[in-house]
Amino acid sequence: MAEIKLNSTSITLEEITGTEGEKAFDIGSLRNETGYVTLDYGLKNTAVTKSEITFLDGEEGVLRYRGYPIEQLAERASFLEVAYLLIYGELPTSNQYEDFDHAVTNHTLIHEDMKKFFEGYPQRAHPMGVLGSMIGALSSFYPDVLNPDQNQNDIDRTIHRLLAKSATIAAWSYKNSIGHPVMYPQNRLNYSANLLYMMFGMPTEEYDLNDKTVSALNKLLILHADHEQNCSTSTVRVVGSSQANLYAAASAGVMALWGPLHGGANQAVIEMLQEIYDDGGASKQNVDKWLDRFKDKESGQRLMGFGHRVYKNFDPRATIIKKAADDVFEDLKVNDPLLDIAKQLEEFALNDDYFIEKKLYPNVDYYSGLLYRAMGIPTEMFTVMFALGRMPGWIANWKEMTEEKQPITRPRQIYTGKNKREFIDMDQRS
């Protein structure tokens, strides 16, 4: 219990404790009882919901989906298995997995009319813009989703469609951007292999899948699959709270993820490394100079891929990705000068007082971009891969919120504009 005293009023706030011991006060009655609201820029101190999906402890570097440690899931599960876990709450039995896998795989094709959409985008269109708008457009092909009273079968079908079709749209947006023919999905392949096939296969020749690359992509997708109330997931919840359909909510999630402070960071990391390389290569002197720039607020530049709103010790996903990346780099015999710069920058930053004091560590995106690059995935597609990975998390959060019938999200504000004033006709304005 906490007591707030405001002038002559005093109210008691109920204490809430999560299953892992996080503590909160429920301020639901604050405004009604006192007339006050809270002001919390960036919602740094605000839990916007209770959730059973993902637990993370930023101080200890812990991430668990439905109780299962991310390290075990990344090592032993498939992406669709993790998607099932996040969305439905339990690991699937083999029968449940078979049904789910079949249901998702069955929906990998997109309506032929949607193929024509690609002709309308400029060739240089950023694939995140294409993905977001086309996911929203899926709702027009399945108008039944506009009915807020859908039954569970309809909801499940939308979930299967969204998971399956977003991968096809993503791969086709890439094919379109390079002027190659689109590759129709191969349902004999698993999700990750199919994605690589649709992105890199050609109708003229056999496409050889590299097992290490497929496995690394599976890991990357799992690591990105959920991260509790991050910017894009909160966006999905905000949009979904108006009872907008799942395609609309997921499309908004894609758009929120696009920003360089969120999912766009993996692209920004590579662009930053390239800029450093172009400026003076991987010499210690050049890397040092850039590190100084990142510490200087006036420069307006940050060391992209470092720092996290929640992880203040280490990002457990970064540790797993670094290991997966090393395996792929070795297997594919990658010799990438940007990797040398990244390793030096990481080492210098981890030993630098500025980064130590501010608790800035490599986040999931520091190495994911280099790994995608080694797989041959172009920079503009990095955030798209992230979006595909995050899709089960968005779906799980949307489902949890709608099942709990949470109220529409409608925050308050503190108005700081002009007080009331009279309208002045245009000819009298100075």
Give catalytic residues, as residue numbers. Answer: 308, 365
Q: Which two tokens stand for residue 218?
A: 């599976």
Whether the CB-CB separation of 366 and 346 falls below 8 Å is answered with: yes
Q: Minimum distance between the CB of residue 229 and ligand ACO, rounded to whole angstroms?
A: 12
CB of 267 to ligand ACO, least distance (A): 11
Give every CB contact of residue 264 below 8 A, 6+ residues apart in sequence: 128, 257, 258, 383
CA–CA distance, 170 with 192 (Å, rounded to integer): 13
Burial (CB count <10 Å: 0-12, 13-18, 19+), residue 285: exposed
Nearer to ligand ACO, 182 or 350 (CB): 350
As a whole number of angstroms, the distance between CA 343 and CA 354 comes to 18
If the CB atoms of residues 101 and 226 are measured against ligand ACO, the closer one turns out to be 226
Q: 176: part of which helix (H) or strand (E)?
A: helix 152-177
Q: Which is nearer to ligand ACO, 111 or 293 (CB)?
A: 293
In sign, the C-alpha dihedral spanning 39, 40, 43, 49 is negative
CB of 412 to ligand ACO, least distance (A): 22
Residues 6+ positions from 242 with CB-CB distance below 8 Å: 408
In the complex with ligand ACO, which residue's Cβ is closer, 24 or 310?
310
Q: How far is the CB of 284 from ligand ACO (least distance, A)?
A: 19
Structure tokens at 278: 């172009």
Tokens of residue 228, six digits: 């509790």
| Element of type H or E holding 83 | helix 79-88
> Measured from the CB atom, is 180 or 343 closer to ligand ACO?
343
Closer residue to ligand ACO in complex, CB, 74/183? 74
Please work out, in degrees rounded to the nearest 5, the angle formed at the alpha carbon of residue 398 by the alpha carbons of 395 and 403: 120
Phi, psi of 62 (to 5 degrees): -110, 135
Reduced to 3 states (helix: H, G, I; strand: E, B; else coil), residue 402 is helix
Q: How far is the CB of 321 from ligand ACO (least distance, A)?
A: 11
Q: What is the largest CA-CA distance in the chain?
A: 80
Judged by beta carbon, residue 244 or residue 360, the one nearer ligand ACO is 360
Residues that bind ligand ACO (CB under 6 A): 261-263, 265, 294, 302-309, 358, 360, 363-365
Least CB distance to ligand ACO at residue 353 (A):
12
Q: What share of the chain is helix, strand, coil (3-state, %, to 5)?
A: 55, 5, 35
DSSP SS3 for 9:
strand
Say which DSSP state 6 is in. E
Token look-up 């993790």 returns 82
**Structure tokens of 315?**
């990002």
Q: How many other β-carbons are positioned within 10 Å of the β-carbon of residue 17? A: 9
Closer to ligand ACO at the Cβ: 217 or 265?
265
Minimum distance of ligand ACO from residue 362's CB (angstroms): 9
* Smallest distance from ligand ACO to CB 426, Å: 43
Nearest alpha carbon to residue 396 among 112, 162, 59: 162
36 backbone dihedrals φ, ψ, rounded to 5°: -95, 150
In whole angstroms, the minimum distance from the beta carbon of 223 to ligand ACO comes to 10
Spell 336-370 as b/e; 16+ CB within 10 A means b: eebbebbebbbebbeebeebeeeebbbbbbbbbbb
Which is nearer to ligand ACO, 170 or 198 (by Cβ)? Answer: 170
